[in-house]
Amino acid sequence: MPDFLDLKDPRDGSLGMPSLATIEAVRTAAGDAVTFSTAIGDAAYEPELYAQRAINAALAGADIVKVGLKTVSAEQASWFFAAIRRALNARAPYTRLVAGFYADLMDENDLKKLPAAAQSAGVWGCLIDTFDKVGKRLGHYYGPETLAGFTADCRGRGLKSALAGGLTESDLLWLDEAEPDIVGFRSAVTRGARHESGIDPKKAADIFFAVDQLNGQPTLL
């Protein structure tokens, strides 16, 4: 069993929320030793709705809940996440909150405002992803310097940082320089690209090998 499990429903968007029954089933199957995160949707400015989703997911067994800002502006972000954090504090205070931002829906100037907004709202970590899963990859929207600046800002504020969005083995060099805490690979390690056909063991092994080579460590398979 892995150390972390991350759950979402890609049929319902980039950070689509799975059913509560699915969240509960995964929690039961994984056991308490696994840190379990789940998405709760691509959000409009409806803080009460997403606060309730966060509570429901937490009570179903999620340790971490992630919500993406689809049509929530950078100026609204702090109020939006603070509302979710307050709701979690009342019902599930140990649940961590991840703020998701989409590179294809947000320009660099707005992106720079978001770590401060997340920190003020009591967010645990920040994710940059892409909303359009058949379009360009993360690196087409922001350059390595921008992404490294974002992760450094997160670190300086005590926030975890995560990068995702069509990442492949070829992105590892600049990812290593950007130093995110978490990197998300999906199409790079699954059968049939973005189709949900399960993990391809060879693709996954190739990514592990490339990471270990980058770190100067032997790969044990």
Contacts 24+ apart (CB under 8 A), 14-21: 14/42, 14/68, 14/102, 14/129, 14/130, 14/131, 14/133, 15/39, 15/40, 15/41, 15/42, 15/66, 15/67, 15/68, 15/100, 15/129, 16/41, 16/42, 17/41, 17/53, 17/57, 20/56, 20/57, 20/60
Question: Per-residue pLDDT for the chain (221 aa), expressed as one digit of tens each?
Answer: 678 899 999 889 999 999 999 999 999 999 999 999 999 999 999 999 999 999 999 999 999 999 999 999 999 999 999 999 999 999 999 999 999 999 999 999 999 999 999 999 999 999 999 999 887 899 999 999 999 999 999 999 999 999 999 999 999 999 999 999 999 988 888 887 555 578 888 998 998 888 888 876 544 33
Per annotation, catalytic residue among 8, 112, 133, 160? 8
Q: Is 70 a catalytic residue?
A: no
Active-site hit among 66, 112, 136, 203: 66
Please state whether beta strands 4-7 and 125-129 pair in parallel, antiparallel, or not at all (unpaired).
unpaired
Q: Judge whether 66 counts as a catalytic residue.
A: yes
| List of domains in the chain | 4-165 (3.20.20.60)
Global pTM?
Answer: 0.92
